[in-house]
Structure 1
Amino acid sequence: MHHDRSDFSDRTERMLQRRAENGWRPAGGPRRPRRTTVPRRPCRIVVGVSGSPASLAALRRAVAEARRCGRPLVALSAWEPPEGEALYCRWPDPRWARHWYEAARTRLADAFEHACGGVPADIDVTLRVERARPGPALLDLAAHPDDLLVLGTRPGLRRGPVRRHVRRHARCPVLTVPLAQPDRADLRALRRLIPTDFGT
């Protein structure tokens, strides 16, 4: 609709023009979207723990990085029913599900005991046990671009499904920690040992 402003004074026209230049809009017109502030959580270090020697090496490195950077550490042990979710849904057994959950929780606690002598008290540590695939569960926890995801790897082996998934979809830096291989000379010396060498 066309508005006839012929009866407006010059002063009123100038006032409306200044308001329009400053972003003012009449009632019912398009409004500027309000800026909403989303509280940011602190950037953290996320490590996957399966109980394997490679994951213990990753856990030790993640603890060291958390101490160095002063970031909170989140250690995840993910589990699924051994027969798979699809088959479990056909014959669910809550008692067995509870058993697998407890096994994953024990595995996570044992990993800290073996790798660090227990859960460190000098850093902020969160232990997470989730019923999910490890790859997506890790990426859900390490979703911020400034997070750090730590994974253990075994030298000489092809990338496993977790590592492939993380490499393909990670939104944050990924630190892979290779499992140190024993020296060949040490292995030869171990092979030559006999029971009496260990004493009684």
Structure 2
Amino acid sequence: MNGRHGGPDAGRVVVGVSGSLGSLAALRAAAEEARRGGRTLLAVIAWEPPEGEYLYLRRPDPAWAAHWEQDARQRLDEAFADAFGGLPPGVEVREAAVRGRPGPALCAVAHRPDDLLVVGARTRARRARVRRYVLRHARCPLLTVPAPRAPKGGVRQLRRATAQDFALRV
């Protein structure tokens, strides 16, 4: 943890992180909001066992669940590295890996009326489940941050790329 703290009455800035471009943009915006308001930044990554909760409950394996929780924590650390090169300066940071679906997990964590919930906004409606969920169920103010747009034709070029395109040429 580093930086300032807004006191016991200040709400937190809670941000959902998945590693997507939209969530990295949300992480940057949330850090700026936390820095500006002297609030704590709470970065949350939601995770579930890859086989789903129902199948996991039929054959619970605590070691398997611990593995996937550790994987989620590592992805959260990688998101901070991708967004800032480490922890953002000038802000107190807390991290949480929460077991559950992203929408309900974020709403459960950002439960105080003085919290600010920040999520990345995907442009495709079918992929905006988390945003739609938190819009309906959040009990605090919500800030949606759009994902940066890829350069025109850039996505098409990446889809056609092969491993040789990324090989070091000596």
Normalized against structure 2, the TM-score is what?
Answer: 0.81
2:120 to 143, 146, 152: 152
Cα shift at 1:151: 0.5
Question: Structure 1, unaligned stretches of length 5 or more?
Answer: 1-39
Partner of 1:3: none
Structure 1 or 2, whichever has the larger Rg, is: 1
- Deviation beyond 4 Å, 4+ runs, structure 1: 185-190
Partner of 2:51: 83
Bigger RCO of structures 1 and 2 (CA < 8 A, at least 6 apart)? 2
Specify the code of the residue in structure 1 equivalent to 2:68. W
- Whole-Å Cα distance in 1 between the matches of residues 31 and 157 of structure 2? 32
Counterpart secondary structure, 1:144: coil
- Whole-Å Cα distance in 2 between the matches of residues 185 and 128 of structure 1? 36
Do 2:122 and 2:128's aligned partners in 1 also have CA atoms closer than 8 Å? no
Cα 1:88/1:156, change in 2 over 3 Å: closer
Q: Percent identity?
A: 55
Do 2:21 and 2:148's aligned partners in 1 also have CA atoms closer than 8 Å? no
Do 2:16 and 2:23's aligned partners in 1 also have CA atoms closer than 8 Å? yes
- Whole-Å Cα distance in 2 between the matches of residues 155 and 115 of structure 1? 20
Partner of 2:94: 126
Question: Structure 2, unaligned stretches of length 5 or more?
Answer: 1-7, 159-164
Partner of 2:74: 106
- Whole-Å Cα distance in 1 between the matches of residues 136 and 41 of structure 2? 23
Specify the code of the residue in structure 1 equivalent to 2:117. L
Count of aligned pairs between the two proteins: 157
Cα shift at 1:163: 1.6
Summarize the alignment of residues 1-150 of structure 1 with structure 2, pairs less than 5 Å apart.
41-150=9-118
Normalized against structure 1, the TM-score is what?
Answer: 0.69
Specify the code of the residue in structure 2 equivalent to 1:95. A
Specify the code of the residue in structure 2 equivalent to 1:115. A
- Whole-Å Cα distance in 2 between the matches of residues 187 and 135 of structure 1? 27
Counterpart secondary structure, 1:184: coil
Specify the code of the residue in structure 1 equivalent to 2:146. P
Cα shift at 1:150: 0.5
More deviation, 41-50/157-166: 157-166
Cα shift at 1:188: 9.6
Cα shift at 1:189: 10
More deviation, 169-178/130-139: 130-139
Q: Deviations over 1:147-200 (max 9, x none)?
A: 11110122234353222211111111111111111343878999xxxx7xx975
**1:165 corresponds to 2:133:** yes
Do 2:46 and 2:97's aligned partners in 1 also have CA atoms closer than 8 Å? yes
Structure 1 vs Structure 2 CA RMSD: 2.6
Counterpart secondary structure, 1:158: helix
